[in-house]
Amino acid sequence: MPVSDGGEGLLSTLADSPLLEGAVWQQQRCTSPYGLSLQADFLILPGERAIIEMAQSCGLELTPPAQRDVRQASSYGLGEQVKAALDAGCRHLIIGLGGSATNDGGIGFAQALGARFWRKDGTLLPAPAAGQDLAHIQRIDLSGLDPRLQQSEIQASCDVTNPLLGEHGATWVYGAQKGADEAALSELEAGMAHYSQLLTQTLGFDVSERPGAGAAGGMGAALIAYTGATLRPGIDLVLELLNADDHLRDAALTIVGEGWLDRQSAFGKAPVGVAGKAARHGVPVVALCGGRDESSRQLYQHYIDAMWSICQRPMALAESMNTCEPLLADAAENVLRTFLSGWRGEAHKRITV
């Protein structure tokens, strides 16, 4: 069963699943993080449901590293995707956060859905707004925000619990990988702090400390603020969509896979999420991986019962990736042989006692 942690790659994981019968692709022209026109896809499911992946419209990989400047990146395209889903009659939306190029606190997203932002000089902030505009906003006007948002159930999947601000927030943790140097990080953090104060004044409550508010450059905070969305661990949402409990309930063994396992794998990653659900049904879990370090032993405390590297000898990364399929098949066979030999041993003891 293909699974995802709810971030980048969510759609490709779910699209071919036989459990999502009736799902259809919807194509939408929207705005890239740097203002170009692109085609982004989302899934429409029966029951007025839609699954949207932020990386489709605002993904980091849409722009070559040398051309990235997160100060100029906008989440406007995600707002266009959500509007398209609403126009298609969907009222139950799942939005996968992760892999974004943006750090704009979701102001571009909100603009696409009717919000307006007034600058300190009294002029209207033009769309698409970006992170560099945060410090110049004086007032947030939500009078034109699409009313269908409040009539919809929106859940956002994310695999991080970062707050909006501070050393563990959106900017300082993820800004550098999106193309920000030290000066840009300081500028963006100051703008985000100013914007956070305006959000609190506008809404009457503070979203900056909510777990996941800092996800996807502050998109977590924006979804809570502008749509009333619920933020959930992505793997939980995906397993719910795939009715994983029905498959695990009668399973004898669960095998999960990950490229690299270490202590960070315990935080929102798919293998540990699957393992936790399997444990509720008393099903043992074996993890197959390309590699692991000593810290991966911590995963034994998170319902992973055993870990096997699929590499049979020291090999270069390129070689291991090129031969991944036969290596994986061989490792899986060894796991199953070990499991079955233990099962036969237990059966033999029961028979001979």
Q: What is the pLDDT of residue 5?
A: 77
Tokens (6 digits) for 114: 């009717």
- The 3-state DSSP class for residue 322 equals helix
Q: What is the pLDDT of residue 19?
A: 63
| Residue pair 287/257 in contact by the 8 Å Cβ criterion | yes
| Residue pair 87/42 in contact by the 8 Å Cβ criterion | no
- Among the four given CATH numbers 3.30.870.10, 3.90.1510.10, 1.10.287.130, 3.30.70.240, the one describing domain 10-236: 3.90.1510.10
Give this prediction's pTM: 0.84
Hey, what CATH topology would domain 244-352 get?
Rossmann fold (3.40.50)
- For the chain, give every domain's residue range: 10-236, 244-352
Residue type, 168: H
Mean pLDDT by runs of 10 across the 353 residues of the chain is 79 74 89 96 93 95 92 98 98 94 98 98 97 98 98 92 93 92 97 98 96 95 97 88 87 91 82 93 94 92 93 86 90 90 57 34
| Residue pair 171/188 in contact by the 8 Å Cβ criterion | yes
Q: What is the pLDDT of residue 17?
A: 74
Going by C-alpha positions, the residue among 112, 109, 136, 139 that lies closest to residue 202 is 139
Q: Which helix (H) or strand (E) holds 252?
A: none
Q: What is the pLDDT of residue 202?
A: 97
Q: What is the pLDDT of residue 345?
A: 57
